[in-house]
Chain A
Amino acid sequence: MIWEKDMMVAEVPIKSDEDVIVARQKVRQLAQELGLSLLDQTRLVTAVSELARNIAVHAGEGKVRVYRFMADDREGLKVVFEDNGPGIPDVEKVMEEGFITMGSLGLGLKGARRLVDVFHIRSAPGQGTTVEIIKWL
């Protein structure tokens, strides 16, 4: 990529499971506007559902930000999930394919990663969690 640029197009605060639906609907609408296929919309919105739920369940509070992402050769939607919750100890281990975690966290994270084109996670105990995903057009 020679250059890249992003523009925030939506921000949804997450405090409860109702907010997860708001985030899903917002991302669905923006994905439609961008012209993602119905299948890619479904993949992206499902990933958003998993990751936004992680905020509501594990951190209690956080934010979902949506960006129109442009690079020299392509365009997509970038969604950033940020919370100041307890964080995930040994996040690399949790993200390993064979590693089985109790509860919804591991399945949600790994499942979401398989549904998008780019997936970055940053987390440490006491420092919250940030997940960034991109779905290219």
Chain B
Amino acid sequence: MSDVTMLKIGDNIIIPIQVELHDRAAMKVQEDVLKEIERTAAKGLVIDVSAVSIVDSFLGRLLGETAKMARLMGTECVLVGLKKEVVITLIQLGFIIKDMNTALNLEEGLELLQRLRFGRTEGEVEE
């Protein structure tokens, strides 16, 4: 397993990224997350990057991909805790995290997950 902690709380997996990940380590986290989703059949995934001081194009792309992969497995993903410096830098870098649910912090992220899972009205079709 990677050095990153994965917490299973109820139906959700929460991953606080606390270390600076080099590219291979980040890819390993992606693989481990998918393994953990498969093993636990989690319905929600929160990736907390509030301790991450740099998100470059590689990590940004990897996070976006991970969310898409999780969704293909039936797990909604929310990215939380992007710092303001990181957000400004990402946009100026020209990187746009597309199709990704984000929230300010862990608490808001968990609320968003609840809404994503249960908040849709009957018959609403997701793109």
Contacts and interface: CB of A to CB of B under 8 A. Distances in A.
Interface residues of B, number: 19
Interface stretch (B64-72, B90-98, B100-108): B90-98
B114 interface: no
A114 B88 CA distance: 12
A16 B84 CA distance: 29
Contacts of A129: none
A29 to B, nearest CB: 12
Contacts of A53: 23, 56, 58
Contacts of B53: 28, 42, 45
Given A42-B86, A42-B89, A20 B22 contact: yes
A82 interface: no
Nearest to A112: B93
Contacts of A21: 20, 22
Residues of A contacting B: mostly: helix
Contacts, number: 64
A112 B54 CA distance: 13
Contacts of A18: 22
A17 interface: yes
Residues of B contacting A: mostly: helix
A17 B93 contact: no
Interface stretch (A4-12, A70-78, A103-111): A103-111
A110 B20 CA distance: 24
B20 A43 contact: no
B22 A111 contact: no
B96 to A, nearest CB: 11
Contacts of B23: 17, 20, 53
A42 B92 CA distance: 11
Interface string A108-123: 1011101100000000
B39 interface: no
A24 interface: yes
A37 to B, nearest CB: 9
A44 B92 CA distance: 12
26 contacts: A16-B22, A17-B23, A18-B22, A20-B22, A20-B23, A24-B54, A41-B85, A46-B56, A46-B89, A49-B54, A49-B58, A50-B56, A50-B57, A50-B93, A53-B58, A107-B57, A107-B93, A107-B94, A108-B57, A111-B57, A111-B92, A111-B94, A111-B95, A114-B93, A115-B92, A115-B93
Interface of B: 20, 22-24, 53-58, 84-86, 88-89, 92-95
